[in-house]
Amino acid sequence: MLNHVSKSFGKGDSQVTALRDIRFSVEEGEYVAIMGESGAGKSTLLNIIATLETATGGQIALNNQDLSKLKEKEKAAFRRQHLGFVFQNFNLLDTFNNRDNIFLPLVLNKVSHKEMEKRLEPLAKELEIEQLLDRYPYEISGGQKQRVAAARALITNPDLLLADEPTGALDSQNTKRLLVLFDRVNRQGQTILMVTHSSQAASYANRTLFIKDGIIYHELYRGDMSQKDYAKKISDSMTVLTAE
């Protein structure tokens, strides 16, 4: 839940307001997309929810816990225990093989190796990365890297999966593959909040929020619409958003 969240950078005459009076909630099991032009505040908003940045004002809560009251050390633990991340640039460590990249958040949470392997097996099979686990990120393609990154995000069974332009560096085939995966895990109960510039990517979500000039400008619900119809409605809304 976000309540009257704002974010400013700088001071005095040079102050820039990135977000103003942001209010919305994401229900458990929901799949929400956030769209807007470059510089609209999408990634800033996601970073604040992820506790990677601090809001200037307002309140953010997850599972009734006020994130603004967490100390820096507590924020790191909170991210490991409750959040999963999928980024455009993958954020994998080339010095670790793919298996160890996936295990990293569990290692930091002091999960036993037996439990790590137990969680990885079905996930690797579902993501079709079983043959990639002993290779290194620099040895595999962008689409494969994103599937490894998705495994790292999902292996912690996060309360909330945060995705920042997850298809931005992928070709059309791997884009669809990742979006189908997100759709599948969402149907299994995974809550997802995704920032994207793509109407096609957003059409997989149940709800789409549009940000303009740091505020929630518009909101769409998919309801009973087909994915094709929803994608068109999202595209039409973005056209209006950028024209005004």
Structure confidence at residue 80 (pLDDT) = 87
Q: Which residues of the chain fall short of a pLDDT of 70?
A: 244
Contact 82, 157 (CB under 8 A): no
* Residue ranges covered by each domain of the chain: 2-243
Q: C-alpha distances in angstroms, 160 versus 31, 49, 225?
A: 10, 10, 25
Class of CATH domain 2-243: alpha beta
Contact 217, 19 (CB under 8 A): no
Structure confidence at residue 231 (pLDDT) = 96
Residue pointed to by tokens 């005004």: 244
Q: Report the chain's terminal Cα–Cα distance, integer Å.
A: 28
Residue in 53, 68, 43, 18 with CA at minimum distance from that of residue 162: 43
- By CB atoms closer than 10 A (0-12, 13-18, 19+), residue 126 is middle
Could you tell me the pTM of the whole model?
0.92
Contact 105, 83 (CB under 8 A): no
Alpha helices in 39-187 (DSSP H): 42-49, 72-82, 98-108, 113-127, 142-154, 172-187
